[in-house]
Amino acid sequence: MKIAISMPDNIFNAVKRAAEEQKRSRSEVIVEAVKTYLEKLESLRMLQALNDAYAAPDTQEEIDARGAGLDLYARTVLGKEER
């Protein structure tokens, strides 16, 4: 698909230089830059979703499950018996 965009001269000149250095078209350089930007946005969205999910305090069920897991680890991996 073809589109028309406007950009500052300094950005256009940087894109043009990069394209010449890499022996690629300006379009290829711009498409790669947009793909990288979109991937970064998606990573930030996922990070925010994780931060939101872990921001809430642990429920008692989660605390109990973590404690049971640590007890099991101590018995099976570390070989320690509860006292």
pLDDT above 60 for 54: yes
Question: Within 10 A of 33 (CB to CB), how many other CB atoms are there?
Answer: 13
Question: Is 80 exceeded by the pLDDT of residue 82?
Answer: no
Please tell me the predicted confidence (pLDDT) of residue 22: 97
Q: Does residue 71 contact residue 82 with C-beta atoms inside 8 Å?
A: yes
Calpha distance 29→1 (Å, rounded):
15
User: What pLDDT does 81 receive?
Assistant: 64
- The predicted structure's pLDDT at residue 53: 86
Contact 18, 29 (CB under 8 A): yes
Q: What percentage of the chain carries pLDDT values higher than 90?
A: 77
Q: At what angle do helices 9-22 and 26-55 cross, to 10 degrees?
A: 110
The span from the CA of 18 to the CA of 27, in Å, is 11
Within 10 angstroms of residue 29's Cβ, the number of other Cβ atoms is 19
**Mean of the per-residue pLDDT values of the chain:** 93
Q: 55 or 39: whose pLDDT is higher?
A: 39
80: pLDDT strictly greater than 60? yes
